[in-house]
């Protein structure tokens, strides 16, 4: 008997083998990192955020303190790097120190997201004068699944990269694919909190993608803004006749086409899942 059938029959844990909201095959994308610093190789980070899901007490049955760290790189690559994941059962004092330690480890962090409930409220109060850029996030409450579904298309479209060789990757993938039937939801809460934040920011992922698509579309329109000879009285779409003998320029052009296609793929996945790029996850009443 396989482990999935065993889990369903004997542990009352009926999780589909491929996953539920998050499919196992969506977590195959990787990036290489510096073994000493953990930073992505060949890329410069332009934004780093941390997302905390805290627990109330240190008991075997209680949830963990989970922190995920995420980075956006400079340039035209809109994919998100998951830089680190920590998850421990801790007393409050230990957890408070861990928040400080994680921020010190990633000093370029621009926002530390903390759920504004339970021990998270105490963290926000106790560390408000430490210089850590804490940002309170309204608790998901009964909308945990809605928040998770809002970011699942980003995984499906290959926009989320995990570090190659990370020792925590297997446990992270396991907890993500078991949601919402798994025993713990800390990884999912921390992840959806972070990605929904990035999704809604002015310089976040969705806005970046839409700007790239707009720029690609602009290149194919008549240069005269007053041109109204196109369909519906809009600017005329020009035929793509450009060629270059410069291999570097040709490569850039091809990369631009691939980037535009990837952006369209992600937006299409989001629409099929009922997720608007600008949609705000529902808040707890």
Last residue of a domain, one of 202, 219, 242: 202
So what's the pLDDT on residue 57?
Answer: 65
Residue 285: inside a domain, yes or no? no
Edge to edge, the sheet with strand 134-137 lists 30-31, 160-163, 80-88, 65-73, 45-53, 111-115, 134-137
Is 192 found in the same domain as 63?
Answer: yes
Last residue of a domain, one of 202, 233, 249: 202
Residue of 153, 141, 114 whose CA lies nearest to 279: 153
Is 122 found in the same domain as 263?
Answer: no
Residue 127: inside a domain, yes or no? yes
So what's the pLDDT on residue 233?
Answer: 62
Number of domains in the chain: 2
Mean pLDDT by 10 residues, the chain (285 residues): 52 61 94 94 94 77 84 88 95 94 95 90 94 88 81 92 96 91 85 90 56 63 66 60 44 47 57 51 43
- Pairwise CA distance, residues 188 & 180, whole Å: 9
So what's the pLDDT on residue 255?
Answer: 44
Is 218 found in the same domain as 111?
Answer: no
37 preceded by a cis bond (ω within 30 of 0): no
Is 228 found in the same domain as 245?
Answer: yes
So what's the pLDDT on residue 205?
Answer: 57
Is 30 found in the same domain as 114?
Answer: yes
Residue 282: inside a domain, yes or no? no
Is 170 found in the same domain as 224?
Answer: no
Please give the angle made by the CA atoms of 237, 227 and 265, to the nearest 5 degrees.
30
So what's the pLDDT on residue 36?
Answer: 92
Last residue of a domain, one of 181, 202, 223: 202
So what's the pLDDT on residue 201?
Answer: 72
Residue 281: inside a domain, yes or no? no
Is 239 found in the same domain as 119?
Answer: no
Residues β-bridged to residue 66: 53, 87
Is 197 found in the same domain as 229?
Answer: no
Is 60 found in the same domain as 36?
Answer: yes
- Pairwise CA distance, residues 152 & 172, whole Å: 15
Q: How many CB atoms lie within 10 A of CB 199?
A: 23
**What SS3 state is found at 81?**
strand
Is 134 found in the same domain as 240?
Answer: no
Is 160 found in the same domain as 52?
Answer: yes
Please give the angle made by the CA atoms of 87, 136 and 48, to the nearest 5 degrees.
60
Domain with 237 in it: 206-272
Is 115 found in the same domain as 84?
Answer: yes
CATH of the domain at 13: 3.30.420.240
- Pairwise CA distance, residues 130 & 122, whole Å: 14
């Amino acid at each position: 008997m396989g482990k999935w059938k065993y889990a369903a029959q004997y542990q009352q844990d009926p999780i589909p083998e491929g996953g539920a909201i998050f499919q196992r095959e969506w977590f195959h994308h990787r990036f290489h990192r510096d073994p000493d610093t953990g930073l992505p190789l060949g890329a410069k980070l332009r934004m780093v955020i941390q997302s905390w899901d805290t627990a109330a007490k240190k008991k075997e049955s209680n949830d963990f303190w989970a922190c995920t760290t995420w980075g956006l790189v400079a340039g035209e690559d809109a994919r998100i790097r998951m830089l680190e994941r920590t998850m421990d059962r801790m007393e409050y004092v230990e957890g408070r120190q861990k928040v400080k330690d994680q921020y010190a480890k990633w000093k370029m962090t621009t926002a530390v997201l903390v759920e504004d409930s339970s021990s998270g409220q105490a963290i926000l109060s106790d560390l408000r004068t430490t210089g850590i850029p804490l940002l309170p996030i309204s608790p998901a409450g009964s909308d945990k699944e809605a928040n998770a579904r809002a970011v699942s298309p980003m995984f499906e479209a290959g926009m989320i990269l995990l570090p190659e060789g990370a020792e925590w990757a297997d446990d992270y993938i396991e907890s993500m694919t078991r949601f919402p039937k798994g025993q713990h939801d800390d990884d999912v809460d921390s992840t959806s909190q972070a990605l929904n934040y990035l999704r809604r920011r002015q310089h976040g992922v969705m806005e970046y993608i839409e700007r790239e698509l707009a720029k690609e579309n602009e290149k194919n329109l008549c240069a005269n803004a007053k041109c109204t000879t196109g369909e519906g009285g809009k600017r005329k779409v020009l035929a793509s006749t450009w060629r270059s003998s410069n291999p570097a320029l040709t490569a850039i052009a091809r990369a631009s086409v691939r980037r535009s296609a990837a952006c369209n793929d992600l937006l299409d996945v989001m629409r099929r899942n009922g997720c608007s790029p600008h949609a705000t996850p529902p808040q707890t009443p």
